[in-house]
Each structure stands twice: as structure tokens, then as C-alpha cells.
């Protein structure tokens, strides 16, 4: 059971004096956990700081029953943000609309729509919409609320779906769940069509129906005609040619016929230039059409908009939906076009971003995981072996406890060692991988002898690890064969190593197997049209094999494909003799002219910075237990961890302080001071210090007026109450890591390790 904050007479009076909140409700008469919403679990998460009217949002016409002009503006901004999948800001906009008009039911519908990927929260929010629907709610609004209410699962429906299932029949449970999802999806489509039947000119309903028809295909509601959905979107564009539903047309055709979405790819970003995802989505189309330079521009534009937004709103990078996905895709496209320096810079940057147990660790699909993967991909594909050796175990590829990652990276390190002539080190890493394989084989046999079947989860997991190790060992053995110039040994192991055609071709070329190498390179060129590496590899192999005319012919094609590539990388630098032979000059690149179907493209610098940078912490003042005012400027110019806690009356906060107390000395040894700032008055702080000071080992200050809490955004602007906050601030006053939440951050050991890592890296 979570500890609760017992509201004092003062706190209740404070709540009563603060005016309307979201949602408007009676003063709580029961205990409410500190930092938690007064109005239910669904309101705990999501944005709890005030919204602003943002620039770069699409113009939307979505009439509602509110009499508040401000609330209406935030509703329409929220709809535009929904269309751009900017869910966090969409919810914030709808919360702001509800603050302006607390009984505006459609605002709660909007909050639920911003949580379509979180059924539990969405259910709580749509329930609020239903409760607030009244005579003043328009028929159109009621239809929207009813449609979403009937779509989202109710707790009773979930129980009915699971009824009769047993642990021994998971397939039946899954079938019932899928059937229920399909049923609800079909019903939602019918309900959205009901809105259009009564309001045929509602283009927002048409846009939302179109995206639901596409999304429903993932949940069992088969998309039978993409052209029918496209026709529906055409009705939207007939009414508003710049509608952000261009985003939906891209999704519709992305995996089927990407060329059908080229017009929308040109118009998507300009439709909502303040939403990063709207710039990102055209990159899907250009990537599928192998127009990688165009795709890279889109994804860089998206990253820049995200960076500007995160810095302005003080969000950590992976709190933004699709941020990591966008950036890792950008790295892939930079690899395709040979922009090695930029790809390396961005991959390293992804690794250096703040990690958080909830959304950015090696086990999650966040910046840290993608950054490591893309850095290894870049260094190995371009055969930057010395750089890989330097990175291994360093700041960007540090040691990890994740077995799969460690063993994969160790195998590539061994490859690099063989390729650079350090066979002794390579052999040692190979032996270690072989020892690990024997260990796992022993564990698998033990499980089988203990009665586990080959289909049991434990055995299947071990077998998966063994299969991955087999590939890694074959990869290293293949590299060892290359180092020995052992063609027979390489040909024996190379298939097991599961290398791509390009790497196989280069390694075979190194041992003189040019016929097979050239065949593989030609296949790679055919499948990798528009990519620098396959074509450069083919040119290099042809030239080495004295097929000079063929090499020159393909080199002419490479000049434009590599028009933006870094030609000082080893692979491209090796083509200098070919360039000389065709009279191309030292810089032989020939960038193609820009395509004519790209639409409006503003200067990239106008969209935001190329990299995320930590924001500058606000100055603050507080009161010591002795009653003296102190400011951050008076503290030593060292990194510090600042814990904003909600007073000693919050038992959960006390737990947090006690969780960090045993590690305060370790933080200090790492050069990091730890302090606490409380919501309490000086007198209440003194009482708490007398009770806990010897145990806490850190300076504690009072912020009874809550100025520091508000300046650090540890404040719910909608309910006017403090939130828990934990911040790492470096010696230059930059916020390098933060957690603001309805619950305090408790993992002191994780944060110590992460703080040390971040402070060693320049953001």
C-alpha cells in the first residue's frame, strides 16, 4: 500500500483558495497520496504543467459547446497535435482547455484520444467525459464521446473476455482477446460513420475515421481497400488542402505503394511545422523509394524540431514519442548515403542522452539501445576497425551486464582485432565466446535432464542465446580466416556468420575469391539502389580484379550516389586510383540537383538545434533550518543532486530520502553534492530535521512559498499542488537528468551510476 499525505487544515485551505482545477471536483475528503491527482489514477500521469498556444500547429475547425474562446483554441490545438501523434502535448492542450472550462466534456474525450495506446488511462479519462456530458454538450460532441467510450475496454469486459481461460490454455485466452479487439474496432468504425451520417461535412471525423481504418488493420479489422481510405482522405483535402491528415495518407501507402503518397510527403511537414513527427513521416516514403538523401533531410528536420521543443518544455529526450525511432532511422539513412561523420556523431549522441528506468535503458527501444546498435553498425559496415577498438569499453560502448549485447559487441571487437593485426587479442576474445557457449550448452542439458522440455520458456531462451553465440563465433572465425588469408576457412564459416552481402563480398575479396565477391556485390547493388556502400564495394572489387572498364562505368554512377558522402573514409579513399583514371579529380563527388517534388523546406537551422542540449537550471532560494535564506549561487560550484520532496508528512518522500541517505557519501566521492528542498515551512522543516537529520546525511531546505518547486516545474498547474522531483545539475548549472512525477524517484544506485556516466560526457 502506498504511503499517503494527510492533508492538514492549511493544505485544504490552500486547495480551496487556488481556483478551478482539472477536473473541477469537491475538495478531497479522503487521504490522497502526495503528488497524486485529487481526481483519480488516470490523472496521475501525463503532463501536469500548463499548456501554451504553440507556433507551427495546423489550423483546425472543431466546434465545441464551450463559451470560452481560450478553451476553444486549446481544443483545436489538441486536435492538430493528435493528428501529428504529438500525444503528450495534445493531452496537455486538452487539460488546459478543461482548466479554462472545467465541465467541457469534449476536453476529457481529447485527453482519452491522446492515450489511445494506453487503454487503462484512456478509460479513466473517457469516464470523466461521460460524467461531464450534459444538456450543454452538443449532439456532435456526444457522438464523439460515445464512440470512444464504446471502443475502449471496460474492466467488466476484460473480465468477461478472460472468463473460462486457464493458465494451461494461453492460446484460447489470446484468441478471445483478439476477437474482442476486433469487435470493438468494428464497432468504433461504425460509430465514427454515424458521426458522418449526421454531420457529413465534419472533416475531422473523416480524418479520424481514415486513420482508424489504417490502425484497425493491426487489430484484426482487415483493411480491404487502401484506395477507399485514400478517397476519404481526398475529401478532407478538398475542404482543406493543407490538413495534417497528409500524415495519415503516408501511413496508408508506406508499406504498400509509397509512390502514392509523394504529394502528401511534400505537404506533411509544412502542414504542422511545429510537430517533429510531421517532418519525420515523409522520410518513410523517401526511404522506401530509396531516396535516402531526401529521407535524411526529413529526419534531421524532425530531430531539430524535437530538440527545440524539448529544450523549451524541459523534457528529457526519450519522453518524446518516437524521438529515438526517428534518430536511429536518421543514422541508418546517413549510413546509406555515406555521411559517416554525421552518423557517428548522432549515434554517439544517442548513447550520451539521459537514461531512465522507465523509458530509456538497454532493454527498451530507446536512445541508448539504438545508439549502441547504430554505432556498431556504422563502424563495422565502413570497417572503421581501429575506432571500434577505441570505442569498446569506452564512453559510448561501455561494459554492460546484458549478455546478448556484450557478446555481440565482443565478437565485433574480436573481428576488429583480427582485421588490424592483433590476432592474439582476437583469439582471446574468441576463446571467451567459446567458453560462454560451452557454459550455456551445459545449462541447457541440465534443464533437459531436470524434466524441462525443449519447448519450455527456459530452454527456448537458452537456445536463442546459443544460436546468437554460434553466429558471433562464426563471425570471429571468419575474420580470423581473412587475417590468415585462408580462403577455404573463410568459405567454410562465412555463411554461418550471417554477414550481409557487402561484408561477405569485401572479406572474400581480401582472400582473392573475386568471382564470388563480385557476384555478391552486384546482388547488393541491385537490392541497395541509392546506397553508397554496395556500389563502392563493387567498384573496389572490380578495380582490384583488373576489370577496369567495369569499375570506371560503375564509378560514374557512384559519383552522384555518393554526392554527399565523406570520401576520406577508408573504403571511399581506396577509390582514389579509379577517380584519377577517369579524370574526376580529388573530390570526385557530383551531388545531384534537388528533386522538384519536395515541397516547402525551410532552412534546417530555423527548425531547431542539430543536437539536444540540457537546459539551464533556474536559480532558486530557500530557507535553512536556522531560518537563513540561501540560494543556489551560494553553494559550492559542483554538480549536485537536488531532491524536491513534499515534506516529512509525506511518508513516501521520507522513504525516498532514506533510500538516498546511505549513498550520500558515494555521491560526494563522485563529486556530487546531494540536497533536499521541501514544501514545508521553516518550523515544519525543523521538526523533521530533529527527527531524521542524523539518518539523512544531506542538507535540507524549506520552500514554503513553493517558488523553487514552481520554477523547476515540480508543480501541477492544473490542480495547484506540488510534485516530486529529482534533478542532476552539473557544475555549469545545466540539468543533465530529471524525474518529475506523482511518485518520488527511488533508485539511488541507478542514478549514481547514471550521474557519473553523464558527467563524464559532454552533452
Structural domain includes residue 728: yes
- Residue 510 CB contacts under 8 Å (≥ 6 apart), including other chains: 482, 485
Structural domain includes residue 77: no
Is there a single domain that holds both residue 520 and residue 654?
no
Structural domain includes residue 676: yes
pLDDT tier for residue 30 given thresholds of 50, 70 and 90: low
Is there a single domain that holds both residue 519 and residue 630?
no
- Mean pLDDT comparison of 39-48, 444-453, 480-489, highest-scoring range: 480-489
Lowest average pLDDT, out of 138-152, 463-477, 693-707, goes to: 693-707
Structural domain includes residue 693: yes
Lowest average pLDDT, out of 44-53, 174-183, 473-482, goes to: 174-183
pLDDT, position 220 = 87
Question: Average pLDDT of 158-172?
Answer: 62
pLDDT tier for residue 166 given thresholds of 50, 70 and 90: low
pLDDT, position 7 = 28
Q: How many domains is the chain partitioned into structurally? A: 2
pLDDT tier for residue 115 given thresholds of 50, 70 and 90: very high
Helix, strand or coil for residue 241?
A: coil
Residues in the chain: 763
H or E element: which one contains 630? strand 629-631
pTM: 0.91
Is there a single domain that holds both residue 517 and residue 631?
no
pLDDT higher than threshold 90 for residue 87: yes
Is there a single domain that holds both residue 461 and residue 348?
yes
Question: Average pLDDT of 177-197?
Answer: 95
Is there a single domain that holds both residue 382 and residue 511?
yes
Is there a single domain that holds both residue 479 and residue 628?
no
Among residues 486, 507, 526, which one ends one of the domains? 526
| Exposure on the CB side of residue 176, measured as CA atoms within 13 A | 15
**DSSP secondary structure string, 118-148?**
-HHHHHHHHHHHHHH--TTS-HHHHHHHHHH
Cα 234 from Cα 236, distance rounded (Å): 5
CA distances to 14, 87, 109, 718 from 8, in Å:
10, 36, 34, 20
Is there a single domain that holds both residue 374 and residue 517?
yes
Question: Average pLDDT of 477-505?
Answer: 96
pLDDT higher than threshold 80 for residue 614: yes
pLDDT higher than threshold 90 for residue 22: no
What strands lie across the sheet with 673-678, from one edge to the other? 629-631, 621-623, 700-702, 673-678, 640-645, 724-729, 735-741
Is there a single domain that holds both residue 513 and residue 652?
no
Which CATH number covers residue 659?
3.40.30.10
Among residues 488, 505, 526, which one ends one of the domains? 526
pLDDT, position 163 = 53
Structural domain includes residue 293: no
Structural domain includes residue 638: yes
Lowest average pLDDT, out of 15-24, 424-433, 625-634, 754-763, goes to: 15-24
Is there a single domain that holds both residue 347 and residue 489?
yes
Strands (E), 133-251: none
Structural domain includes residue 727: yes
Domain interval for residue 483: 340-526
- DSSP-assigned letter for residue 117: T
Cα 123 from Cα 115, distance rounded (Å): 9
**DSSP secondary structure string, 461-499?**
HHHHHHHHHHHHHHHHHHHHHHHHT-HHHHHHHTTTTT-
pLDDT, position 16 = 30
pLDDT, position 155 = 74
Structural domain includes residue 455: yes
Average pLDDT over all residues of the chain? 92
Is there a single domain that holds both residue 752 and residue 635?
yes
pLDDT tier for residue 689 given thresholds of 50, 70 and 90: confident
Among residues 506, 526, 546, which one ends one of the domains? 526
Is there a single domain that holds both residue 505 and residue 631?
no
pLDDT tier for residue 314 given thresholds of 50, 70 and 90: very high
Amino acid at each position: 500500500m502506498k504511503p499517503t499525505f494527510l492533508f492538514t487544515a492549511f493544505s485544504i485551505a490552500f486547495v480551496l483558495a487556488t481556483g478551478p482545477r482539472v477536473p473541477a471536483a469537491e475538495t478531497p475528503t479522503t487521504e490522497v497520496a502526495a503528488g497524486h491527482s485529487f481526481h483519480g489514477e488516470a490523472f496521475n500521469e501525463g503532463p501536469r504543467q500548463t499548456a501554451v498556444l504553440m507556433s507551427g500547429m495546423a489550423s483546425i475547425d472543431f466546434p465545441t459547446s464551450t463559451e470560452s474562446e481560450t478553451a476553444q483554441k486549446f481544443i483545436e490545438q489538441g486536435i492538430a497535435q493528435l493528428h501529428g501523434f504529438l500525444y503528450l502535448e495534445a493531452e496537455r492542450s486538452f487539460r488546459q482547455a478543461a482548466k479554462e472550462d472545467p465541465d467541457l466534456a469534449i476536453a476529457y474525450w481529447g485527453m482519452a484520444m491522446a492515450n489511445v495506446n494506453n487503454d487503462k488511462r484512456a478509460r479513466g479519462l473517457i469516464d470523466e467525459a461521460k460524467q461531464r456530458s450534459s444538456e450543454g454538450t452538443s449532439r456532435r460532441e456526444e457522438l464523439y464521446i460515445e464512440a470512444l467510450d464504446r471502443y475502449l475496454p471496460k474492466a467488466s469486459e476484460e473480465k468477461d473476455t478472460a472468463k473460462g481461460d486457464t493458465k494451461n490454455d494461453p492460446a484460447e485466452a489470446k484468441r478471445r482477446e483478439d476477437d474482442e479487439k476486433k469487435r470493438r474496432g468494428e464497432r468504433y468504425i461504425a460509430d465514427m460513420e454515424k458521426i458522418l451520417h449526421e454531420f457529413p461535412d465534419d472533416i475531422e471525423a473523416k480524418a479520424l475515421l481514415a486513420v482508424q481504418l489504417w490502425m484497425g488493420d493491426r487489430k484484426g479489422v482487415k483493411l480491404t481497400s487502401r484506395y477507399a481510405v485514400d478517397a476519404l482522405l481526398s475529401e478532407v483535402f478538398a475542404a482543406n488542402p493543407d490538413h495534417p491528415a497528409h500524415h495519415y495518407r503516408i501511413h496508408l501507402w508506406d508499406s504498400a505503394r509509397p509512390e502514392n503518397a509523394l504529394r502528401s510527403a511534400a505537404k506533411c511537414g509544412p502542414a504542422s511545422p511545429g510537430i517533429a513527427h510531421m517532418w519525420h513521416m515523409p522520410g518513410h516514403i523517401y526511404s522506401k523509394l530509396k531516396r535516402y538523401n531526401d529521407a535524411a533531410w526529413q529526419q534531421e528536420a524532425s530531430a531539430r524540431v524535437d530538440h527545440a521543443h524539448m529544450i523549451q518544455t524541459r523534457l528529457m529526450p526519450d519522453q518524446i514519442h518516437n524521438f529515438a525511432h526517428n534518430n536511429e532511422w536518421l543514422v541508418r539513412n546517413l549510413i546509406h548515403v555515406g555521411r559517416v561523420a554525421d552518423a557517428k556523431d548522432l549515434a554517439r549522441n544517442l548513447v550520451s542522452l539521459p537514461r531512465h528506468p522507465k523509458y530509456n535503458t538497454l532493454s527498451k527501444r530507446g536512445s541508448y539501445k539504438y545508439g549502441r546498435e547504430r554505432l556498431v553498425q556504422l563502424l563495422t559496415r565502413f570497417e572503421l576497425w581501429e575506432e571500434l577498438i577505441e570505442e569498446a569499453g569506452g564512453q559510448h560502448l561501455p561494459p554492460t551486464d546484458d549478455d546478448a549485447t556484450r557478446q555481440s559487441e565482443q565478437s565485433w571487437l574480436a573481428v576488429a582485432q583480427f582485421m588490424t593485426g592483433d590476432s592474439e587479442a582476437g583469439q582471446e576474445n574468441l576463446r571467451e565466446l567459446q567458453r560462454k557457449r560451452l557454459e550455456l550448452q551445459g545449462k541447457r542439458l541440465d534443464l533437459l535432464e531436470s524434466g524441462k522440455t525443449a519447448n519450455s520458456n527456459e530452454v527456448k531462451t537458452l537456445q536463442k542465446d546459443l544460436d546468437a553465440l554460434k553466429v558471433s563465433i562464426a563471425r570471429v572465425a571468419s575474420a580470423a580466416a581473412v587475417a590468415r588469408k585462408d580462403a577455404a576457412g573463410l568459405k567454410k564459416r562465412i555463411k554461418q556468420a550471417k554477414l550481409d552481402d557487402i561484408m561477405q563480398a569485401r572479406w572474400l575479396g581480401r582472400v582473392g575469391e573475386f568471382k564470388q565477391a563480385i557476384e555478391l556485390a552486384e546482388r547488393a547493388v541491385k537490392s541497395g539502389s541509392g546506397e553508397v556502400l554496395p556500389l563502392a564495394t563493387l567498384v573496389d572489387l572490380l578495380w582490384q580484379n583488373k576489370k577496369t572498364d567495369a569499375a570506371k562505368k560503375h564509378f560514374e554512377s557512384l559519383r552522384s550516389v555518393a554526392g554527399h558522402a565523406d570520401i576520406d573514409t577508408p573504403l571511399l579513399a581506396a577509390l582514389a586510383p579509379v577517380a584519377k583514371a577517369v579524370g574526376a579529380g580529388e573530390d570526385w563527388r557530383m551531388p545531384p540537383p534537388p528533386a522538384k517534388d519536395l515541397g516547402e523546406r525551410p532552412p534546417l537551422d530555423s527548425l531547431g538545434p542539430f543536437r539536444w542540449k540540457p537546459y539551464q537550471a533556474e536559480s532558486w532560494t530557500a530557507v535553512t533550518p536556522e531560518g537563513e535564506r540561501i540560494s543556489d549561487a551560494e553553494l559550492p560550484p559542483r554538480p549536485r543532486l537536488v531532491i524536491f520532496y513534499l515534506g516529512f508528512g509525506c511518508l513516501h518522500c521520507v522513504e525516498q530520502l532514506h533510500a538516498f541517505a546511505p549513498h550520500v557519501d558515494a555521491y560526494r566521492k563522485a563529486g556530487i553534492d546531494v540536497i533536499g528542498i521541501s514544501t514545508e515551512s521553516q518550523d515544519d522543516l525543523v521538526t523533521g530535521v530533529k527527527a531524521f537529520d542524523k539518518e539523512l546525511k544531506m542538507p535540507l531546505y524549506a520552500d514554503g512559498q513553493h517558488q523553487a518547486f514552481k520554477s523547476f516545474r515540480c508543480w501541477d498547474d492544473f490542480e495547484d499542488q506540488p510534485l516530486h522531483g529529482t534533478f542532476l545539475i552539473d557544475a555549469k548549472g545545466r540539468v543533465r537528468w530529471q524525474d518529475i512525477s506523482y511518485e518520488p524517484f527511488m533508485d539511488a544506485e541507478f542514478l549514481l551510476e547514471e550521474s557519473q556516466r553523464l558527467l563524464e560526457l559532454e552533452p
